[in-house]
Amino acid sequence: MTRESSTARKIAARPAFWLSAAVAAIGAWALTTPSAAQEGIKIPAPVRDAPAQGNSAVAVLAGGCFWGVQGVFQHVEGVTNAVSGYAGGDKQTAQYNVVGSGSTGHAESVRITFDPHKISYGQILQVYFSVAHDPTELNRQGPDTGTQYRSTIFPADAEQAKVAKAYVAQLDKAKVFDAAIATTIEPGRAFYKAEDYHQDFLTLNPTYPYIVYNDLPKIENLKRLFPDRYRSDPVLVSEAKASN
C-alpha cells in the first residue's frame, strides 16, 4: 500500500475538523496522480452461468479498494445488499489497520447479496470484470498497491468456482483485455464485515477526492455499459440493516 493512499483512506476514521484539512491536502495528490485503473469496456456475457436457485444468492469479490466495488454493485438492479469487508485471511486479522500491512492474506472485498432470478452470478461477474475494476493488474488497483488490493473471486461453492474459471478462460481467449487477467479464484474463504465507517462510503462521500477521481467514473461506466441493470438509487447497508 502506498503511503499516500494509506493516508487518504484512514481519514475516514478521523474527527470532522481534521477531515476537512486532510481532504484539502490530499486533493492535489488525488487529482494529479495518474490512475492505472482501466476504463470500463464492453465485454461478452459468460457462456457458462450458474442456475437460479432460491430467492437469494451471495457473491464475494475483491477488486482493489472496497469503496468503489461496493459503490458499483449498490447501483446494480437485482442486488439487495453489498457489504465491504475482508476475505482470504483469518478472523483475528480482519481489521483495517492490520489488513493494510499486506501480510494477512486478506483482500479488501465486497459481499454481494442478489436475487438470482433478476441477475445471475455470471452477470455479476460481467459487471465485476467490465466496470468494477481492472482485472489485469496484479496485486494493485489504480493508486493502491499490495496483495490486499488484489483481484480475487471467492466462490461460495463449486458451481460458482467453475463459472468463474470458465469466464476468465473465455475472456482471455477472446483477448478482451490488453493483458492477461490476473484475477485469482480462492474457494473456501470466509468473509468478515469491515468497520462501519467503510460502509456506504461512496454514497456518503461523493466529493471525497479519492472517490471523485477513482470511483465515480465506475458508476458512470456502469450506467453507460449496462443501462438495463443500472439503478439510480443505491441499495445501502444502512437501509438493509434497518429493514431487517
Catalytic residue selected from 12, 26, 61, 65: 65
Name, in order, each residue with C-beta under 8 angstroms of 102's C-beta and a sequence gap of 6 or more: 1, 146, 147, 148
Look up residue 76 and give its DSSP letter.
B
- Whether the CB-CB separation of 211 and 205 falls below 8 Å is answered with yes
Q: Grid coordinates in use for 215?
A: 470511483
- Whether the CB-CB separation of 115 and 60 falls below 8 Å is answered with no
Three-class DSSP labels, 200-241: CHHHHCCCCHHHHHHHHHHHHHHHHHCCCCECCCCCCHHHHH
* Catalytic residue check, 65: yes
The residues annotated with a catalytic role in the active site are: 65
